[in-house]
Structures are given as structure tokens and as C-alpha cells.
Structure 1
């Protein structure tokens, strides 16, 4: 699939910030305090040194997210109470591939795969607390594609209990050797499918309205939402997302052929300037958002994946001859939004990366350390001039595997060891136990889905790889489904109305930054 997006600026739903002003909000709200001047016209080179740094932002008087340095540990993500927030997330695409909804609510044979609320409930019961939603504004593939696919339809609703039941679909063949909770019944009842009509509650007037509703519904069910950028606009609506939003600024920038430095002969902007310009513009609007950045331009480092190019070791950068993010990090250390920035690498196996070497064991771990891991432990990145240093928080923004070969299982075992900072992986990185698994649906090339090819059966081997506690997967990455004692039942049930009581008030703002070239992406159906 060729992406038709102009991916120069983040596409984001910036809800929590405007909620602080919801009582005074009109149909045409004034720009919030601290909004910087309009950015350059399309095609105008960005000089980040001339980009105004906001000095006034919206007050953080509600829920919010930020990062916190620790004297004897990694930098962590915390909420407004100073409590650590650990992300166990999942990708679900469709708004970026012409689906006009998370794909694919027409597949399978029952409400288990065809009803949106039912799928969200299943995700919750598996222990996921966050969702990653790729999207674009493109009229062929994204939120501009109208009318949206009709998804309100009659469907078969299984019994809640008994043979071939809703609850039965959530019981693994065997429980892992970990502390168990109540394994006799699920802690939350599934949502009701009224009169056998799936998705009766889902908006159908426009794809954009449906997308905003999907974000609202996930937040209403206690999820954090990662808005995975694929466009050149952003919306600043929604009133209930304070402290729930992660903004993924540019997905796999390697795929667009851009480097940290501008490439004038090709007409490509530098990722450094795109990131700085974008966050400078968005931070005054959403100081409670976490901004996720992916690396680029370092494919030649063995063990590197798309999105992981953050190496700044000058000997390595010059010897291998790769793009250098040092100027970006030097600027970041001076920005008021430094604590809102999180490094977001992708860890993949050969089914996605096409790697023929450095995909497991010490060579893989060295590649991860060189390009990402060093940022997560002291001293982190140090400005060679000012000597100021910063340790960054890291979220593994995508990882996953089909687990259909010894190569894939060996690679995934190696990735899990690295994310746990197991002793054999060395001490040049911190544990990375906040993550987004790719993906829910089975037609994701190179990884498959959390459900099988029938769109209904849970892939329990993948669940076990995330929980650990089995012979095949002794170590996991912290996920706790409903049957484990560690299951965190913080989200509300579906007793709440699935429709928002507040009118959707969507404001689209064109940020007018240079476009990136359209290319054929590595994975035909993916983020």
C-alpha cells in the first residue's frame, strides 16, 4: 500500500487539554494561551533555531502524564499522583488502510469478532490497558474517506457461558505457572449486544466522527490511547482524555526515506526539525500528552529496526556512516517539554525486519543497545558542549511475531530477554516493560494477530509470551490477564452508555509543514 499522507506534522486528538476549558468552549474557540505563531507555508525549510519556544502553556490542573527521573533507576512515566504508569498495549489498525474503523468488524461468524464493544472487552480481559490507533486524514485511506463502512448489522451472539460461549473463548487451554486469581468466572460481564445487532451504537455519519468516538470509547473503558501519526493535520477535540494520550509523532520514519538531517537535493526535511517544530506547536495545547519519537537513518547498524535509529556514539556513527541524531538531542535538552518526550523503538523479528543476521542473542542486543538502550541508563545522552545529560524513558512502540518458526520464536525469546534486562543481555539498558504489541487482527503482515485466522480464537501462545510462566515462555513482559492475581481491574464495565453524552466538537487545524514522500511501505497492512 502506498501511503498518500503528508507526514510532516503529528496527527493527534488533543482532548485532555481542551477539557480544562470546556465550560467556556464555543463552536469556534479562540487559540489557547501560549499557541505559537503559524508555522511556515508548505515547502518552506524549517529552521528549528528560529522556532519560538512556548513560555506559556495550559495549566496542569487535572489528570496528566509526564516522566520522572530516578536517582537509582530508569526514568519512568507517572500520572498526576506520581504513580508509575506501565503500558501493556495493543495495535489495532484500520483508520489508515481504508477500513473506516478498526479492522475488521465484518470478519468471523459471531459477535466475538464483529462487535466493537465485545472486542474491547476481550482486550481488557486479556490484560491490555492501552490501544495504538494508526490513522491518516487521507480521503482514499483515512479519516477523509466517506461514507464510512456500514457496520451496524445483525450478528450471532453466543451464550455468555457454556460450550462455545463468550466466557469460554477467554479461557486458556492451561493456566501459566504464576499466581492465579479467581479462575472460576471472569471479573467483568461482557457487553450486551441488544437484539442481536452488532455495533448499533457506532456513529456512521462520517469516518472522522467515528474515529473520535472510538477514541472516546477506549478512554471510557480505562485505556490509554496512542495516536499513531500518519498525516499533516491534527484535531483538538474530545473533553475526557486528560492524562490518557500518547502522541506517536511519525511512524517508522525510515520508511519515508528521511534522515535526521535534511536532504535538500531530494527535497526531504530533516526529522530533527520535524520533531522540534511539531512538539513546539503541540505542547502548549497538550502539556499533559506524552510525545513518542522514533529514530531513523541507521539501517546499516546490525540489529537495527525501522524506528530505532538513535545512536549518537560518534565513533559508531562515523565508522558505519549513518545519520546522526546528536543535534536533535542537544536541542531537546533545552526544551520546556523535555519531560514529555519518550523514546519509542520498534523491535521485530525477520518476518517483519527481513533481517538475515543480528536478530537474536548478543548481536541483536548489541544493536539494540547501540541504537536505543544506552538512552535508558545513566548517563543517557550527554551534550558534548554543555555536558548536560538526560536519561530517557522508553516504550517499545511495536513488537510482535507470528511465532510460526524456530527463527521467529528464537528472536522473540531474545527480544523478551532484552525487554526484561536479563543479565545475559548486559547492563547498557534498563528494563522496557511498557510496550505495544502488534497487532489485534490476523492480517498484519509478518506478525499475524492476537486472534487467529478465524478472527475469533485467541492466540494463547502469544498471550503466554507476554505473561510468561509456561515451558515455552518462562519469562514474559508483565501482562496479567483476568485469571492472574496481578490482573488490574481499574477500567469501568460496559454498564456505561456506549454513546458520549457530549456533542462531538472537532476542530481540524492544518499545521502546514513540508510533506514527506509517499513510498511503498514494508508491511502492506500495518502501522
Structure 2
């Protein structure tokens, strides 16, 4: 609700590399994009899962071939801050981060931006070009860098949702306009981005404005405050430029005197749905957070966390359950430091758990955030911008979704391509922490062949009495010191040259790093 807490932490580690001008940007909420070098044929698009532009049917999102698809993604913020570019490029190459997102089983990115990146003369800062990092971004404008991110994401099968996060880098706004950025500018810039990525279905849609809140209303009829009417105006403008895009519409804070999270209250949809000139394009977006962001009454309910499904049903879940439209939880996150937060995340993941064929008949989501420098939630990455917070990522394992085929349908690792070579893989075992009584480790599976993997299996033998105590992004069996770990549902498919990672905890420590064999199909 009160998002003044949401601040992007200044990256102390980044200061060792180069100064971060303006990284003090506000909470840097929430995940982009250029025309593909290759134009897909209609036949290739129809064959590849998730290919082409998407549309809606009842509560489902469908791809160009009518197959149900589900967004299971991550927010990567920074374009909405004074850096005018995604954060973390002071530490790593952007391609390595996109590769890592895919390897972890995320299939989409929500990419927040502010209207500042569309201004003439806008420049990006805090990018490290040393050692060849980000070499192809040097000298580019923020929009040209966004083009590069979208192009590479599409090559790897990641989808992108553009999120108009703020009117400018100075901070969040309750309404979709400010004195400095009027509604006309907002709509003009939305149309500009829709036009820029027209013909490139890597960019599946636009989140029109992040977290409208009081005095914004839903259905009140006051055109200066009624977010539902503004979303219709903006959505129709976007679709006039590119009628294929999905239009993601967040809620408000208060409806009929009932308040919730900023952008998270969609109670008004029941009486006043968003109606656009192009049918089957609206996806409603909710935001939901834990106590590390702000306290809410439901956290202190004596029945917590059993009360939470009823809370979510009331604010936004009913839209999905009543088959009104698809729902996408565009932001949810937590530091996971408190027991309440841990119970909240477990309950929300259970609420989002997939149902239906391929798990597609379920609520879509993008977790907040990839970035570790979100002050009240942290991220999937730790402060070094490389190490994965395997506990946090592990909570999401059961709600991740199958990935989508690489962008142009002609990659040798594309499952839709005929022919190909013999599946092959290698595996590397790394001990990430060993405290004697126990340890954590990670195994990276790499597709070393020329055709996509459908599934993989790894095997190793410890020298001592080590046993796995918990595992994420894989399943396992153990017989004596020998362990066999197989892919989870979301990360069995690995493109040629790509990789997937799983991790686990074990005890006792001191087992070292045994050699691992990998079998692929």
C-alpha cells in the first residue's frame, strides 16, 4: 500500500567498478525490445509453443496457434531510474543475465521504464564495458539498449512485457499523469513503443501504468481520477498502433471504501470492466506483497495464513475464477526474513499453483525482483549480482512454466526444427557453502549437443555419508552415496548451448565436489 518504503538500494559493490549516478532512484518497482532480425514464417510460428502474438479467451492467455500459455517471469528494473537502463550492468554482461534467467526457468521479463527514456538526448549510465562486457551497448541510447535486450531475450525464447512504471525517474505517481508529464505525453509514448516493436512478438504487451493509488478511482466517472477510463483511452491508443498487443491493466488502491495494495485492488472490475475496441486483449494485473513492504490487517488475522486465499479472491482472484479475464500478478516479493513473510509466500505460491493442461489454466506472474537492490524485498540474485538466492527461487519452483521456443524458429536447438543432432549434456558441481555440519551445492547442466534437450538426468557418488536434505529445481533419488537428480517440469527443455541449474542442501559437510555424469534425451 504505502510504497514510499520501496527504494532501490545503492549498490555498494558496484561503486568498486564505477560510480552509479542516480542509483538512489525510488523503489524501482517493476519486466522489452527491437524488431527481430529474422521474420518468422506463419508455419514456424504455429508450430512453436508460445509463438506469435498472444490473445485472451475467458481466463486463459492463448498463443497465435490457440495454445494456452502462462507467464512465469521476473521483474528486472532500472530503465525507470535515473540510470535509464536495467541495473546490474555495472557488474555483468546483459546477455549472461538473460541466459541465467532462462536457465532458472523464468519465461518472461517485466521491464519497468519511465517516460524519461523516450526524451531526446536521454543517455544511459553505470554500464561496465571493461573486458568486453556489454560491448554492443556502448554509445547507444536507452531505447537502443532496450532494443538489444528485447532482441537477445527473443532469441532465447523469453517474452517481454513493457511496464510504464513512472512518468519520470524522480519517483512513483498516484495518477497516470503529472504536471510535468501530462496524459497526452503518456499516450504518445505508449503508442511510440507499440509502434517500435510492432512485428516483434517477443514484446507481448504493455503494462499501462504502475500502481495507481489514491486519489485514483475505478468506475467513479471522474476523468481526472478514474483509472479504468484512462486505461481504456490508453489501451485503445496502443492498439491503434499495434492491435496484436496484450493490454495489462493494474488495479487501484481503494474501491468502495475498501483499500488494499497500490495497484492491487481490482474489485471494481466486477461492475466496470475495461472495454477496448479490439476484443480479447485485456489482462488484469494485481500486485501483492508481504510485511517487508508494509503491514496489512490480514497478516495479523488469527487464521493467517489460511485467510489469504479469501483475501486474494476478494481483491482480484475472482476475475480468474469467474472466467472474466486472465489475471497476472505483475509484482510480488519479500525479503523472506520473517516467519509471516515465509508463510505468505508459501500460501501465494499454492494459490498460483498450475492447473489444467500443461498448467496453463492458471494465474500468470512475474516475481519482484531479479535485482538484489530492491530495498524492501531484495531479489532472486544476491548482492554480487551473480549468486542465486536458492531459497527464494526455490519457493517459485512449483509454479514456474515451460519456456517458449527461441525467437526465429531456426535455431538448431529449437524443438520445432526438423533434424538436429544427438542430444548431449555435461554437468558441473559447485559447493556454494560448507559449514561442516552441512553444505549447499549447485549443479549446472549444459546442453553440449546440437539439438534441444527434452529432459536430462545427472548422477554422482559422494566419498562419504552425505545425504540430500532438500532440493530445488530438480527431483532426486539416493542409494547409499550415489545420487540421481532429474530435471523439474519447467527446466527439462534446454536449447543447444543453453543451461539449466538446480541446487540442494545436504549433510554432513566436507564432501567436496564429485564428478557428475549427465544423460540427455
Q: TM-score, normalised by structure 1?
A: 0.59
Between the aligned partners of 2:227 and 2:264, the Cα distance in structure 1 is 13
State the partner residue of 1:364.
308
State the partner residue of 2:414.
none
C-alpha deviation, 1:220, in angstroms: 2.4
Is the Cα–Cα contact under 8 Å of residues 297 and 309 in structure 1 kept in the other structure?
A: yes
Is the Cα–Cα contact under 8 Å of residues 153 and 202 in structure 2 kept in the other structure?
A: no
- Change in CA separation of 1:436 and 1:199 when aligned onto 2, cut-off 3 Å: same
**1:97-112 superposed matches below 5 A:** 97-107=81-91
C-alpha deviation, 1:143, in angstroms: 6.1
- Structure 1 runs not aligned, ≥5 long: 4-10, 21-61, 70-74, 108-113, 155-195, 312-323, 381-390, 423-429, 495-527
SS of residue matched to 2:240:
coil
State the partner residue of 1:269.
225
State the partner residue of 1:399.
332
C-alpha deviation, 1:296, in angstroms: 0.9
Between the aligned partners of 1:211 and 1:492, the Cα distance in structure 2 is 25
Is the Cα–Cα contact under 8 Å of residues 206 and 245 in structure 2 kept in the other structure?
A: yes
Is the Cα–Cα contact under 8 Å of residues 450 and 458 in structure 1 kept in the other structure?
A: yes
State the partner residue of 1:318.
none
State the partner residue of 1:207.
142
How much is the aligned-residue C-alpha RMSD, in angstroms? 3.8
Between the aligned partners of 1:355 and 1:472, the Cα distance in structure 2 is 32
C-alpha deviation, 1:473, in angstroms: 9.4
Is the Cα–Cα contact under 8 Å of residues 14 and 285 in structure 1 kept in the other structure?
A: no
- CA displacement, residues 336-395 of structure 1 (integer Å, 9 cap, x when unaligned): 4331111111121111233243474233222211111111123x5xxxxxxxxxx21111
Q: Per chain length, whose mean CA-contact separation is higher, i.e. which structure has more relative contact order (CA < 8 Å, sep 6+)?
A: 1
Correspondence 1:341 to 2:299: no
C-alpha deviation, 1:198, in angstroms: 0.7
Between the aligned partners of 1:298 and 1:351, the Cα distance in structure 2 is 21
Between the aligned partners of 2:298 and 2:470, the Cα distance in structure 1 is 23
- Change in CA separation of 1:341 and 1:492 when aligned onto 2, cut-off 3 Å: farther
- CA displacement, residues 236-277 of structure 1 (integer Å, 9 cap, x when unaligned): 2146522641211111111x631124686xx93311210111
| Matching residue within 74, 77, 90 for 1:93 | 77
- Change in CA separation of 1:84 and 1:135 when aligned onto 2, cut-off 3 Å: same
Between the aligned partners of 1:202 and 1:400, the Cα distance in structure 2 is 30
**1:33-48 superposed matches below 5 A:** none
State the partner residue of 2:394.
464
Is the Cα–Cα contact under 8 Å of residues 146 and 207 in structure 1 kept in the other structure?
A: yes
State the partner residue of 1:437.
367
| Matching residue within 245, 256, 264 for 1:308 | 264
Is the Cα–Cα contact under 8 Å of residues 14 and 286 in structure 1 kept in the other structure?
A: no
**1:226-305 superposed matches below 5 A:** 226-230=161-165, 231=167, 232=186, 233-234=189-190, 235=193, 236-238=195-197, 241-242=200-201, 244-254=203-213, 257-261=215-219, 268-298=224-254, 304-305=260-261
Correspondence 1:131 to 2:109: yes
SS of residue matched to 2:396:
helix
- Change in CA separation of 1:64 and 1:413 when aligned onto 2, cut-off 3 Å: same
Between the aligned partners of 1:403 and 1:451, the Cα distance in structure 2 is 14
State the partner residue of 1:148.
124
- CA displacement, residues 462-515 of structure 1 (integer Å, 9 cap, x when unaligned): 121011499889999xxxx99435425476758xxxxxxxxxxxxxxxxxxxxx
SS of residue matched to 2:292:
helix
Correspondence 1:373 to 2:317: yes
Is the Cα–Cα contact under 8 Å of residues 246 and 291 in structure 1 kept in the other structure?
A: yes
Between the aligned partners of 2:199 and 2:492, the Cα distance in structure 1 is 21
| Matching residue within 327, 343, 356 for 1:410 | 343
Between the aligned partners of 1:131 and 1:121, the Cα distance in structure 2 is 12
C-alpha deviation, 1:299, in angstroms: 7.3
Is the Cα–Cα contact under 8 Å of residues 204 and 210 in structure 1 kept in the other structure?
A: no
Is the Cα–Cα contact under 8 Å of residues 342 and 393 in structure 1 kept in the other structure?
A: yes
